[in-house]
Structure 1
Amino acid sequence: MTNEQTAIKTTYFSIIGNTSLALIKGFAGVFGNSYALIADAIESTTDIFSSLLVLFGLKYAKRPADDNHPYGHGKIEPLITFLVVAFLVLSASIIAHESIQNIKTPHKVPEPWTLIVLGCIILWKEISYRIVIKKSKETHSSSLKADAWHHRSDAITSVMAFIGISIALIFGKGFETADDWAALFAAVFILYNSYLIFRPALGEIMDEHLYDDLLEEIRLQAVKVQGVLGTEKCFIRKAGMKYHVDLHAIVDGAISVKEGHDIAHNLKDFLRSEIPNLGHVLVHIEPNE
């Protein structure tokens, strides 16, 4: 299974999970008198739409290179990540606004059974996070990583809701708004996570160098090719799940242009075979002194 297929399959997992949890949280929040759970349901609903965006981005990024997009369509991934972050910020804003409104309005203490629902949700969302983040690392997908952090932020907001409801139940009258304060705190945490997701995606779209480990691997593999004496400049930029490389290879200055050309092709083919996530590899031949 290719990286693209793995990422798409993982996104379907997120969509199904978020849809189920949004319904469970919504019903539990309404019938259990817990705005923290309703806030959780709102976030899970936005998660559904963000996961659909990720799915669209992954499928679009799979399109092969064409005349107008010689490097492929992978740059849509960080753009989709920006939209996912926008959904996170929107959900955090809605949760914060509604939390403040509910803090001002007297209401009943949440039902004790909502804690059982939250406990199950926390466990499931943390498992989901670990599954999706593992797949994002395997596929080098920035949008899938953003989707994984949706699961983690959802787990954290559920933990906050659990704490808030527990306080309201233990201390009783006067602490009815504890779960609303928990939802407000969760909104701040979601905004913080939004920045953590946004920053690397911005680096990707700006071709920021963030790939020292890959650069070192390219240099180590390059000198294994016959005729390559060493490497000089090496630039890497990411587009989708592929890394495009500009590499300056040092060769014997006395060889012919044809021999240098053959070494460049051999080096390109070798690097792409040894490092499967490489896309375009442009080799510039430098003569040794």
Structure 2
Amino acid sequence: MNDNKQKAVRTAYLSIFGNMALAFAKGIAGYFGNSYALIADAIESATDVFSSVLVLFGIRYSSKPADENHPYGHGRAEALVTFAVVGFLLVSATIIAYESIHNIVTPHKTPEKFTLIVLGAIVIIKEIFYRIVSKKSDDVNSSSLKADAWHHRSDAITSAMAFIGISIAIIFGPGYETADDWAALLASFFIIYNAYMIFRPALGEILDEHLYEDVILQIRGIAKTVEGVIDTEKCFVRKTGMTYLVDLHLTVDGEITVTKGHEIAHRLKDAIQHHIPEVADVLIHIEPNP
């Protein structure tokens, strides 16, 4: 899992420095281009920097090994960090919505044409970031990285909405100056929706919700290949950080010795962890077959 941790850390750094550069570029272009939608994008990217720093902290902390006070490890810290990331999303959406409404009722100049070039580039860059971070989050099984990926996707959406709004303002001219502000307001609702999509699985992780049927099916399949295993009964999977904890009821021949049953359980545990490296521990309960 150390390799996964390093991948996650490198991906978090990519998000941090990428968001810093884009926040600066958006802010400058928005200020000189008379576009609040672009400035709103800069605000979101600035909050993304802080949320990405939180993700980095969560990855490092959740990867700490188990100790006397934390026998199951520190993995749940990652889900808590995900909640904080959702908080940043909601704050940025609120700021964008408030300022958009303010600008809608306040006369201002039509955005400059060059802001469309900036926004087009940002949409492409942010979508690339989303795909990179999302793939890495799947590779290392990280909920906080998945949240960070959705930050990039929400940024791409707000930039796309700003592109549409500014295009309308430029094409239709006087009277349509607030089109990019309406676009920013609409984008804030997309951000709130994305926040919910990030929050829901993290909440399920904290509450040990039944979310990992695919892992359970894989475990049952592996069990069938281990000599001495007759069947599997209850199988519960909990996610903690980037790893899983498994509780499994195993059926073996009721006539074998305790020692033999113990050996079968260990062989199965080794097989599961070999085929599913993300499994940190397997607690096996032996059931005798009548």
TM-score scaled by structure 1?
A: 0.99
2: CA distance between counterparts of 1:262 and 1:218? 18
User: What is the match of residue 4 of structure 1?
Assistant: 5
Partner of 1:17: 18
Q: Distance in 1 between matches of 2:120 and 2:69?
A: 50
Partner of 2:205: 204
Q: Give the deviation of 1:145 after TM superposition.
A: 0.1
Aligned match of 1:233: 234
Question: Would the aligned equivalents of 1:128 and 1:151 in 2 still touch at CA under 8 Å?
Answer: yes
In 2, Cα distance between equivalents of 1:145 and 1:115: 29
Specify the SS of the correspondent of 1:255. coil
The match for 1:74 is 75
Alignment partner of 1:122 is 2:136: no
Question: Which AA in structure 2 matches 1:104?
Answer: V
Distance 2:62 2:193 in 1: 28
Deviation by residue 1:7-54 (Cα, 9 ceiling, x = unmatched)? 111010001110000000000000000000000000000000000000
- Deviation (angstroms), 1:270: 1.5
- Local SS of the residue matching 2:283: strand
Gaps of 5+ in 1: none
1:168 maps to 169
Q: Are the aligned partners of 1:236 and 1:246 in contact in 2 as well (CA < 8 Å)? A: yes
Partner of 1:265: 266
Are 1:96 and 2:97 an aligned pair? Answer: yes
Q: Is the 8 A contact 1:71 1:280 kept in 2?
A: no
For 1:257-283, what per-residue CA distance to the aligned partner results, in whole angstroms no more than 9, with x for missing partners?
111111111111111111111011001
Other structure's SS at 1:89 match:
helix
Letter in 1 for 2:77: I
**In structure 2, what is the Cα distance between the partners aligned to 1:228 and 1:91?**
53
Q: Report the equivalent of 2:279.
A: 278
- How large is the RMSD of aligned CA atoms in angstroms? 0.7
Q: Alignment partner of 2:171: what SS?
A: helix
Q: Which residue of 2 aligns with 1:85?
A: 86
One-letter identity of the residue aligned with 2:81: I
Q: C-alpha separation between the residues in 2 aligned to 1:224 and 1:68?
A: 36
| 1:191 aligns to 2:192 (yes or no) | yes
Q: Give the partner amino acid of 1:183.
A: A
Structure 2: stretches of 5+ with no match in the other structure? none
Within 1, Cα distance between the matches of 2:222 and 2:193?
A: 39
Matched AA of 2:195: S
- Partner in structure 2 of residue 111 of structure 1: 112
Distance 2:44 2:242 in 1: 27
Q: Quick one: which amino acid aligns to residue 45 of structure 1?
A: A
Supply the distance in 1 between the matched residues of 2:126 and 2:265 (Cα, whole angstroms): 48
Q: CA deviation at 1:287?
A: 0.7
Correspondences of 1:142-161 after superposition (within 5 Å): 142-161=143-162
Q: Matches of 1:194 and 1:273 in 2, distance apart?
A: 35
Q: Deviations over 1:112-161 (max 9, x none)?
A: 00000001000000000000000000111000000000000000000000
State the percentage of identical aligned residues: 67
Name the SS for the 2:209 alignment partner.
coil
Q: In the aligned structure 2, how far is the partner of 1:203 from the partner of 1:48?
A: 26
SS at match of 2:284: strand
Describe the superposition over 1:57-95 as per-residue Cα deviations: whole angstroms up to 9, x where unpaired: 000011111011111111001100000000000000000
CA distance in 2, matches of 1:138, 1:232: 29
Structure 1 ranges of 4+ moved more than 4 A:
none
Residues 6 and 135, structure 1, Cα contact 8 Å, conserved in 2: yes
1:251 aligns to what SS in structure 2?
A: strand
Tell me the residue number matched to 2:221.
Answer: 220
